[in-house]
Amino acid sequence: ALADAPEAFYISVKLGVEGIGEILRRSIAAALSGFSNSERLNQLLANITEKFDTIIRSFTHLDIEFRHLKQLTKSHKFMDSIQELRNDIRMPVNLAWATLHSLLHSERATYRQNGYIWLGDLLIAEISEEGGGSIWLNIKDLQQKIALCGASDSLITSDIPISIQLLCGLLKSRNSVIRWGFLFILERLLMRSKFLLDENETQRSIGGNASQDQKDTRLEKANAVIDIMSSALSLMAQINETDRINILKMCDILFSQLCLKVLSPDDETAPNSADRNSKSETSHRNSYKENMDDADTRPRYNNVPVSTCETASMAAMLLRGQATVPMQLVARVPAALFYWPLIQLAGAATDNIALGVAVGSKGRGNIPGATSDIRATLLLLLI
């Protein structure tokens, strides 16, 4: 409900919403109507947004060549059932699963991206299409299977879908980039699970089955997603992940699910166009001044403009009082997910910019969203 335009765009891409470029084109085209060469500008804008849509689709939709194989994996998801198939059917199914495994563990980023999309679609199908049952029960079942797969030493578990085995299998790779894929898929799964729960609640409301206590419903939805996250991230602790990029990404997922943005008094009144332009110009000037002042790396918590807070991580927002954490959610998260990354990041308080990229900070040490902020937030939640 508190998502601003950049965040809404980010969520749309993660969810694979169609026609994002067209939505942007319509918004920008309205501002171009006053120009004398608006027709040419609109044509140029249409070409740009069309290419933009193509680029986004490559990150959110599976390539056509793999779509038939995806259907095979969706129809045959248990190892035991595959072994019972006739040979002429079993071979294409095995090939489909082998292709997905190869994509997920490929050295090429474009191949891995197709693998992430493919596996993510299979996992969300476990929630949305499994036996026509309740989404709530399907989410709980998925959470239990992830936990069971992580705890099992057996290479093949008959009761666990191959898709979940492949997800957990990413953590067994020696390559930290492959293990990062586990977090990428998990983040998208959590976001799409939230979307399905919201959609399910909307349908119930339209059908006249709305719950009288909406607060309890929101808490139940949050708990369901938190449980999936906790089971999955606990596997990261079990393998004793040491790659700091992966640990920071893990913390980013943890904070994004636990923290809720709060409206500041300035946000309650919508500024007019002139005010927004003025604030934007001031923000750019302040940003330029800060970038030129390389010698001063001290925190600027007191005089950071409101507009720059939008780029800070949830950790920085929580420490500033711009976000809150419901204790009911914290209580559902295993304590190990707070103290384990806290220990792993102990020597990383002033790491370079590569560490900050994973969580959206500028990566200059003691600045909002840096590793020191993340460690402080972990300690705060642990206490």
Distance CA 328, CA 226 (A): 11
Identify which of 157-171, 176-190, 339-353 has the greatest average pLDDT. 176-190
pLDDT digits (tens, 9 = 90+) for 101-138: 999 999 999 999 999 999 999 999 998 876 556 888 88
pLDDT at residue number 363: 39
pLDDT at residue number 218: 79
The radius of gyration of the chain's CA atoms, rounded to the nearest angstrom, is: 23
Residue spans of alpha helices (H) in the chain: 5-15, 20-32, 38-60, 64-75, 79-83, 87-104, 109-128, 135-151, 162-169, 176-206, 214-238, 244-258, 273-292, 314-320, 327-330, 336-344, 353-357, 371-382
Residue 353 has pLDDT above 50, yes or no: no
In this prediction, residue 278 has a pLDDT band, given cuts at 50, 70 and 90, of very low
Q: Is the pLDDT higher at 292 or at 57?
A: 57
Distance CA 80, CA 78 (A): 6
In this prediction, residue 354 has a pLDDT band, given cuts at 50, 70 and 90, of very low
The average confidence (pLDDT) of the chain is 77
pLDDT at residue number 93: 93
pLDDT at residue number 30: 80
Residue 269 has pLDDT above 80, yes or no: no
Q: What is the mean pLDDT of residues 218-243?
A: 90
Q: 324: which strand partners?
A: 260
Tell the burial category of 311 from Cβ atoms under 10 Å away from its Cβ (0-12, 13-18, 19+).
Answer: middle
Residue 299 has pLDDT above 50, yes or no: no
Distance CA 178, CA 64 (A): 23
pLDDT at residue number 154: 53
Weakest-pLDDT range from 91-105, 296-310, 336-350: 296-310
Q: 260: which strand partners?
A: 324
Work out the number of other CB atoms within 10 angstroms of the CB of residue 276.
12
Q: What is the largest CA-CA distance in the chain?
A: 70
Residue 155 has pLDDT above 70, yes or no: no
Q: Name 15's Cβ contacts closer than 8 Å, sequence gap at least 6.
A: 191, 192, 195
Q: Would the pTM of this model clear 0.85, i.e. be above it?
A: no
Distance CA 160, CA 78 (A): 7
In this prediction, residue 349 has a pLDDT band, given cuts at 50, 70 and 90, of very low
pLDDT at residue number 170: 95
Work out the number of other CB atoms within 10 angstroms of the CB of residue 85.
14
Coil, strand, or helix at residue 306? helix
Work out the number of other CB atoms within 10 angstroms of the CB of residue 86.
7
Distance CA 63, CA 115 (A): 10
Residue 16 has pLDDT above 80, yes or no: no
Q: Is the pLDDT higher at 271 or at 114?
A: 114
Residue 41 has pLDDT above 80, yes or no: yes
Q: What is the mean pLDDT of residues 245-252?
A: 91
Distance CA 9, CA 54 (A): 16
Distance CA 157, CA 160 (A): 6
Residue 202 has pLDDT above 80, yes or no: no
Q: Cα separations (Å) of 111 from 13, 33, 108, 114, 123?
A: 19, 41, 6, 5, 19
Weakest-pLDDT range from 63-67, 147-151, 337-341: 147-151
- Quick one: what percent of the chain has pLDDT higher than 90? 29
What angle is formed at CA 11 by the lines to CA 9 and CA 12, rounded to 5 degrees? Answer: 65
Weakest-pLDDT range from 85-99, 218-232, 334-348: 334-348
Work out the number of other CB atoms within 10 angstroms of the CB of residue 351.
18
pLDDT digits (tens, 9 = 90+) for 46-88: 898 888 888 888 778 888 999 999 999 999 988 888 888 888 8
Weakest-pLDDT range from 14-23, 27-36, 58-67, 230-239: 14-23
pLDDT at residue number 317: 83
pLDDT at residue number 177: 94
Length of the chain: 383
Contact 189, 228 (CB under 8 A): yes
Contact 45, 25 (CB under 8 A): yes
In this prediction, residue 377 has a pLDDT band, given cuts at 50, 70 and 90, of confident
